[in-house]
Amino acid sequence: MTVAATVFKKNRLVIGADTLFSFGDTCTPGDNHHASKIFTINDTYVAGSGWGLYDNIFQDILSDKKNKKLKLHDEKAIFKFFNDLYFTAKEKYSYVNDQCNSKDSPFADLDSRFLLANRKGMFYVSANMSVHKFERYFAIGSGCDYALGAIHVLYDSHFSAKEICQKAILAAIDMNVRCGGKPEIYEIDL
């Protein structure tokens, strides 16, 4: 699991995540395996919470030349990308199956969540691929409750977006057994 957070304050947008990588109940020390949970799709930072296999799938799909100029600047483009990702993954990777958390739900389920940050803002992609834009902050992952609480309390303080994001990730690392490592933070000038 993980914690990832985005914070926008005073024309600075920040995205960050912890760096713990776990295999079920086994985790690896940071000096043995550095797990970056943030990658880029052109000018967009993407953090994921859920299955680590998505990192490999993203790398494979994004190696295709047609995706080299992909722009994820609004809800419509982001939804289209994740919708295409879902169907491409099911078609191209035989081990991807139809999943849904509920038999009563008519919707597909990525079984992972994503945060995106770029010069156009911060976006959340839920497991059912709904896309939402946030104006000030958001967090995902097993430590998101702690991160969101920390951000909410610190947002109107003197701390910068980077400091708030780092403190939020550290709060999740300290309070949630599925979060760990060190915070990895990226800043975007707006």
> Can you give the residue range of the structural domain that contains 169?
3-189
d(CA 145, CA 99) in angstroms, rounded, equals 25
Structure token pair of residue 159: 């701390």
Given this model, what pLDDT does residue 106 score? 54
pTM listed for this prediction: 0.89
The DSSP line for 77-124 is HHHHHHHHHHHHHHHH-TT-----S-TT--S---S-EEEEEETTEEEE
Residue 136's pLDDT is: 98
Of residues 136 and 91, more confidence is placed in: 136
**27: helix, coil or strand?**
strand
CA distance 190 to 1: 30
Q: Is the pLDDT score of 169 beyond 90?
A: yes
List of residues 6+ apart from 63 with CB closer than 8 A: none
Q: Are 101 and 127 in contact (CB under 8 A)?
A: yes
The CATH code of the domain that includes 112 is 3.60.20.10
Considering the chain, what is the average pLDDT of its residues?
A: 87
| C-alpha closest to that of 1 among 46, 47, 56 | 47
Residues 157-186 have a mean pLDDT of 96
**9 DSSP 8-state letter:** E
- Pair of tokens at residue 182: 């060190």
* Contact present, 86 and 111 (Cβ < 8 Å): no
Domain count, the chain: 1
Task: Return d(Cα 53, Cα 70) in angstroms, integer.
Answer: 21
Give percent of the chain above pLDDT 90.
53
106-128: per-residue pLDDT in tens? 566 677 899 999 999 999 999 88
CB 82 within 8 A of CB 125: yes
Place 185 in a pLDDT band, splitting at 50, 70 and 90: very high
